[in-house]
């Protein structure tokens, strides 16, 4: 059974930091590119960042570039999202996703598995 379980969300003041984790099981983690997406109630889910199978390549949405960092530990089947300099606009449910074939980073339909999300709230 494929599972992606996000953790690490919470409440933080603007300018603060959080680190999200996504633990994977039920598939070969190292053969999948991984990504993070986020969604605000009533709005469309949007791309945040992706990382290649080996971790050599990363890609970020312009809104988070320079503030967020994606990384992975294939020995632990876990992908991380370090979020610094958080803004109220970053408030959303954050989802991790896996893609067996190399995805176009921002195309949600090219990812195969999804977690259930973790809430991040940034207060002003």
Q: How far is CA 37 from CA 14, 23, 79, 124, in A?
A: 20, 15, 13, 22
Give me the pLDDT at residue 77, please. 98
Which single residue is written with the structure tokens 């979020």?
A: 83
Ranges of residues in the chain with a pLDDT under 70 are none
- pLDDT, one tens digit per residue, over 45-80 is 999 999 999 999 999 999 999 999 999 999 999 999
- Phi first, then psi, for residue 62 (nearest 5°) are -60, -30
Give me the pLDDT at residue 22, please. 98
Q: Are 112 and 4 in contact (CB under 8 A)?
A: no
Give me the pLDDT at residue 70, please. 98
Give me the pLDDT at residue 100, please. 94
Give me the pLDDT at residue 15, please. 98
- Phi first, then psi, for residue 109 (nearest 5°) are -70, -15
Give me the pLDDT at residue 56, please. 95
Q: How far is CA 117 from CA 17, 32, 66, in A?
A: 18, 19, 23
Tell me the two tokens of residue 107: 């195309």
Q: Using only the alpha carbons of the chain, give its radius of gyration.
A: 13
> Beta 118-123 vs 10-13: how paired, if at all?
parallel
């Amino acid at each position: 059974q494929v599972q992606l379980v996000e953790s690490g969300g919470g409440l933080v003041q603007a300018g603060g930091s959080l680190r999200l984790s996504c633990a994977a099981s039920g598939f070969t983690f190292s053969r999948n590119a991984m990504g993070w997406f986020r969604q605000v109630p009533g709005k469309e889910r949007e791309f945040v960042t992706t990382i290649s199978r080996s971790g050599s390549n990363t890609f970020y949405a312009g809104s988070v570039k320079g503030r967020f960092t994606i990384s992975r530990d294939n020995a632990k089947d876990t992908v991380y999202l370090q979020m610094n300099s958080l803004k109220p606009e970053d408030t959303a449910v954050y989802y991790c996703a896996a893609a067996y074939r190399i995805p176009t980073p921002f195309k949600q339909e090219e990812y195969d598995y999804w977690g259930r999300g973790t809430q991040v709230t940034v207060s002003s």
